[in-house]
Amino acid sequence: MSASPNFSSPKSASPNAFFPASVFTRMAVVKALEKISDAKFLRHYPCPPVRPASKCTPLDTTCLHASVFIAGKCAWRYNKFSRELPQTPWVIDGERRMEGSVEELIAAPLLSSFRADGFNFSSSGREDVDVRTLGNGRPFAMELLNPHRSRFNKAEIRQLQEKINASSEKIRVRDLQIVTRDAMGRMKEGEEEKTKCYSALIWTKKPITNTDLDFIANIKELKIDQKTPLRVLHRRPLAVRQRVIHSMSASYLDTHHFRLQLHTQAGTTSVTVASFLNHCLHSYIKEFVHGDFGRTKPNLCALMESEVDILELDVEERNREEVIPMVVSVTLHALPGSVCDSSRPTWKCL
């Protein structure tokens, strides 16, 4: 088996960074290794490995600048206003399915301004391609790799944020600042305590009146059991997950449509499904509405005794603000007598 040596490397700042000829994901490599027998693997990679007969001689030394981490005072957040924009590049079986992503729209101005070689994007959850993220937005952070410029004053950071927002009408970011490395990990803390508010446009097969929706407001702390949704079963383990819908309300539109507002649990309380936190935490809303062929119980179809479906979904609010520590400012000076190459500076902190 042959593979590119860069299958696990971070995203590159090169022009073709988002359009790779071959895509190697961690899951793709794991699946490939599962198909190789132990005997065949050991023929190419003996264990323990053969002792080398010669020594390694370093031919070149490369110095890299420490990464810069970008987030915000209450977790830098983004809003997504498009129903045709994935959070990250959407690649299926090595083929790019949609142009653009939230990640790319944010990264492009940052890579240019910081003159970084690449980036790592991290967020607190994710939304589906056709779901908008409104309200106070979704927390995220970005690591910029080997930046050739690392110091920006507040006015420059504010200008950079405005540049990102002016680059596209599909997204908006707020509270941009440089933070510490710890911020990347703290962003996902407290998932179990978060609650989220959603707004969904619902279609009903059976004609309805305004009074047919009155019972929805009386439903409180509804516990639902959901088997792994069919639409993600190919990449998620089969399990039954329990969720809580704290409250709901409905706004009548016409005889076949109404707007459903939901206040729900964002994370999960079961340690057996902790890995599900990395998945889209709102994914059960769609299945709660149409039932997913009975895999989600109870569901809105059963509650209304009618066939219903979801036409649109928006994430409207998150009730927990993630406080992220700001980086301590330091003054950087060139070493006496050194020649400062802007592409590879040598610095000393005083």
Residues known to be catalytic: 128
Check: CB of residue 270 under 8 Å from CB of residue 191: no
Nearest partner of 161 among 179, 178, 173, judged by Cα: 173
* 325 upstream amide cis, omega within 30 of 0: no
Residues 6+ apart with CB under 8 A from 98: 84, 85, 86, 90, 129
Nearest partner of 134 among 348, 340, 313, 334, judged by Cα: 313
Check: CB of residue 315 under 8 Å from CB of residue 229: no
Please name the amino acid found at residue 327. V
Cα separation values, 61 from 57, 64, 145, Å: 11, 10, 18
User: What does the radius of gyration of the chain's CA atoms come to, in whole angstroms?
Assistant: 24
Cα separation values, 35 from 2, 30, 39, 217, 314, Å: 14, 9, 12, 52, 41
Please return the burial class of 218, using the count of CB atoms within 10 Å of its CB with bins 0-12, 13-18 and 19+. Answer: exposed
Please name the amino acid found at residue 158. R
Check: CB of residue 119 under 8 Å from CB of residue 143: yes
Question: How many angstroms from the chain centroid is the CA of residue 2?
Answer: 30
Reported as half-sphere exposure (CB side, CA atoms, 13 A), residue 228 has a value of 12
Reported as half-sphere exposure (CB side, CA atoms, 13 A), residue 13 has a value of 20
* Alpha-carbon span 273 to 241, nearest angstrom: 7
Give the CA diameter of the chain.
Answer: 83
**227 DSSP 8-state letter:** E
